[in-house]
Structure 1
Amino acid sequence: MNILKSLAAVALASVALSGVAHAADSYRFAVVPKAMNNPFFDLARDGCMEEAKKLGNIECIYQGPVEHEPATQAQIIDDLITQKVDGLAISVSDAAAATTMINKAVEAGIPVITFDSDAAESKRSAYVGTDNKEFGKALGEELLKLKPEGGTYGMISGGAAAPNLALRVDGVREALKGSKWTEVPGSPTFSNDDVTLAVQQAGDLKTANPDIAAIVPVGGWPMFAPDGWKNFVEPFKADVASKKLALVVADTLPVQLELLRDGYANALVGQRPHEMGVVAMQTLLKLKKGEKVDEIIYTGLDRVTAANVSEFVK
C-alpha cells in the first residue's frame, strides 16, 4: 500500500509540474491600436486573435483608446506594463509619447514591437507593417497614371504627430516632384482619424479649391463613412468617371472596394492589416523564446483600380 501511495504521489507531482510548465509556456500579448473605432485596426485584431488561437498557447489582448488620443494610448501602454503582459505590439500615435512607454516596457523585461506606425528611435525590437514612404509614393504614382497632365491636389491625413502618416505625405510629394502636379495651400488637412471629419475635409478642399484635380487621403478614413463619402462624391461623380477629379485613396477595406467598384473612387492603395496582426503574434513569440527576428518586417501593398477591383471584392 505504501508503495502504491508513493507511486500515486509521484504521478500527481508529475501532473502538477506538467501544469506549471504549460503555464510557463503560455503568453499574454497585447495589441494596442491607435484607435478602436477605426475599422482598419479591426482587421489587425482579427489576425491577432486567429493566430493566437492557431498557436494555442497565446492570448491576444486587444486594447487601445476608443478614439485617436495619443495621451490615452500612452496611459493604456503604461497600464499593460503594470499588468506584466508578456509582449506588446503598438501602432504608434505619437512617436515621442510612445517612445517613453516603449522604453519603460523594455526596461521592465517586456518585448515590444511596433506595427502599422513605428517609433524607430525607441528600444522596440521590430517593426511589422507597411513601408510607409513607399506607400505614399504608390499613391502618388497611381495619381500620375490617372492624370499625367497634372493639376492641383490636396491630401487628407490623420494625426499630425503620427510618424507613419508623415512618411506617406512625404512619399506622395516625392512621387509627384518634377511633375505638373501642385499641392494646394492647407494640405494636408488633419482628421485625427475621425471619419466624419475626414469626409468634411474632402468637401472643404473642394469648396476652397473649386478646380482641384485630385484629392488623396493617405488613410482610408473618409471612405470608412460610406454614406458620407457617397454624399460628397455624388455631385461630382461624372467628374470622377472622366478623371477630371481624381480620387486616389489609401487602404482597401471591403467597404472601400465596393465604393471603388461603384464609381466613388479611381484607385486604392491597400495595406495588409490582417497579416500585421498575424505576424505580430509570431514575432512576439519568437522574441519571448529568445530567438532573433528581423528589425523591419514589411507586409506589402496592393494597388486596386476599376480594372482589377473584382478580384479583390471576391
Structure 2
Amino acid sequence: MRKSFVVGALACVLALVSVSAQSADKKILAIVVKGLDNPFFEQINLGCQKWQKENPDSEYTCLYTGPASSTDEAGEVQIVDDLLTRGIEAIAISPSNAPAMGNLIKQRDPSIPVMTIDADFIAADRGLRKTYLGTDNYLMGVKMAEHAAALKPDGGSVCLQLGNVAADNINARAAGFRDTIAGKKDTDRLTGQSGWTEIDGCPLFTNDQVDLANQQMADTFLANPDLDAFILIGGWAQFAPQAYAQVTDQVMDKLKSKELIIIAGDTLPPQMKALKEGRSHVQVGQRPFEMGYRAPSVMIDLINGKNVGDPLYTGLDECKPETADSCLAK
C-alpha cells in the first residue's frame, strides 16, 4: 500500500470523525484544501473559524480539512469522495491535481453545490462548479512580471519556481508572468523576449515541498552565479524561514545590489519579515483569510439558490521593503 494512500486515508478518517461530531446539530459546509501542512491554508482555516464564531446560531458549521501533506493528491481526492458519500450540504475545494479532482466530480455528479477556493478546476471542467472564490492568479503573475520589469528594465536570465505540475492556479500565475514579460499571450517559455530568458533546468517544480523549494534555490544560485531573477510563483521556500535565510545568506550581496532580484508570492508573517530583511524585493500576496471567511456565506447562498458571481476575486497586496508596514489590506 502506498504511503500517500495511508496518509490520505488517515486524514479522511479524522475528517469524518470531525463531521460526525459537528453534524449532530449542524449542517456541514466543507472546505477541503491541498494540505494541512501548508501555513497558507491555515489562514483559510482561521477565516473559517472566524465565520463560525460570528455565526453561532447558524444551522450550518464550517468544516476545514484536507490531507496531512500537500503532496498527497490522491489523499485529497479520497477525502472529497468520502465527504460526498457521508453527506454534506456544500463543498469548497482547492484542488491539488485539478484534472483528477474534476474527474471525481464528474463521476460522482453530486447534487450539492460544489465550488472551488484558492485553486480552480481546469478550464474544461469549470462547468462542474458553481463559482471560484480566491485570487485572480493570472493577474498575480502579471503583477510579478511588472515588478520584475521595473527592477530589471533590460531583462536578464530568470528562473521560475512552480509547485505541482497539475495545479491550475500556479500554472495561471506562470502564464501571467511569461505573457506580460514577453508582451504576447500564450508564451510557453521566455527565450529572449524583452531581454528575458529562462535558464536551462527551469522552471522548477517543488511539489509544494518547502525543503525541496529551498534546496532548488540553493542549487540554482550555485550553478548560475550570473542569474538575474528568481521568481517564487508561490511562497514555498519562505514557509521555512530558517532554511530560506540560510539560502539567501549565500547571495545577500547580490540581493542588496539588486544584481539578483527575488520576487515571491504571498505575504504571510515570515515572508514579510524576509522582505524587511532584504531577502526578497517584492511580495505579491493573496488573501487566504478572506477566502476562508467568505466561503461559508457563499456556500449558503448557493444552497439557497441565490445568484452568485463567478469568479469571486479576493484581491492582491503588492509589498516592497519600503511599504512593508502599510501594504497589506486591513
Q: TM-score normalized by structure 2?
A: 0.84
SS at match of 1:160: coil
The letter of the residue matching 2:295 is A
Quick check: 137-146 or 177-186, which moved more?
177-186
Query: How many residues are treated as equivalent by the alignment?
Result: 291
The letter of the residue matching 2:67 is P
**Partner residue, 2:223:** 208
**Partner residue, 2:16:** none
SS at match of 1:311: coil
- Could you tell me how far apart the structure 2 residues matched to 1:163 and 1:208 are? 29
- Could you tell me how far apart the structure 2 residues matched to 1:180 and 1:309 are? 29
**Partner residue, 2:111:** 109
**Partner residue, 2:17:** none
Check conservation: 1:218, 1:250, Cα contact below 8 A: yes
**Sequence identity percentage:** 38
- Could you tell me how far apart the structure 1 residues matched to 2:250 and 2:212 are? 19
1:261 aligns with 2:266: no
The structure with the largest alpha-carbon Rg is 1
- 1:24 shift after superposition: 11
**Partner residue, 1:95:** 98
- Could you tell me how far apart the structure 1 residues matched to 2:294 and 2:104 are? 22
SS at match of 1:92: coil
Check conservation: 2:30, 2:65, Cα contact below 8 A: yes
- 1:103 shift after superposition: 3.5
**Partner residue, 1:19:** none
Check conservation: 2:317, 2:327, Cα contact below 8 A: no
2:157 to 152, 155, 170: 152
Check conservation: 1:28, 1:87, Cα contact below 8 A: yes
2:305 to 278, 287, 290: 290
- 1:109 shift after superposition: 1.6
- Could you tell me how far apart the structure 2 residues matched to 1:137 and 1:298 are? 15
Check conservation: 1:261, 1:310, Cα contact below 8 A: no
1:231 to 227, 246, 253: 246
**Partner residue, 2:236:** 221
SS at match of 2:325: helix
C-alpha distance after superposition, 1:142-178 (max 9, x if no partner) = 1111111221010111101111111111111112114
Matches within 5 A, 1:1-314: 26-56=26-56, 57=58, 58-67=60-69, 68-104=71-107, 107-119=109-121, 120=123, 121-122=125-126, 123-177=128-182, 178-312=193-327
SS at match of 1:182: strand
Check conservation: 1:286, 1:292, Cα contact below 8 A: yes
Q: TM-score normalized by structure 1?
A: 0.89
List, as ranges, runs of 4+ consecutive aligned residues in structure 1 with deviation greater than 6 Å.
Answer: none
SS at match of 1:149: coil
- 1:100 shift after superposition: 2.2
**Partner residue, 1:9:** none
- Could you tell me how far apart the structure 1 residues matched to 2:44 and 2:286 are? 11
Check conservation: 2:146, 2:180, Cα contact below 8 A: yes
Check conservation: 1:195, 1:225, Cα contact below 8 A: yes
- 1:305 shift after superposition: 0.2
- Could you tell me how far apart the structure 1 residues matched to 2:54 and 2:301 are? 15
Quick check: 250-259 or 47-56, which moved more?
47-56
**Partner residue, 1:8:** none
- Could you tell me how far apart the structure 2 residues matched to 1:55 and 1:101 are? 32
C-alpha distance after superposition, 1:61-95 (max 9, x if no partner) = 11111112211110000010011011111111112
Gaps of 5+ in 2: 1-22, 183-192
Check conservation: 1:257, 1:312, Cα contact below 8 A: no
- 1:207 shift after superposition: 2.1
- Could you tell me how far apart the structure 2 residues matched to 1:202 and 1:280 are? 34
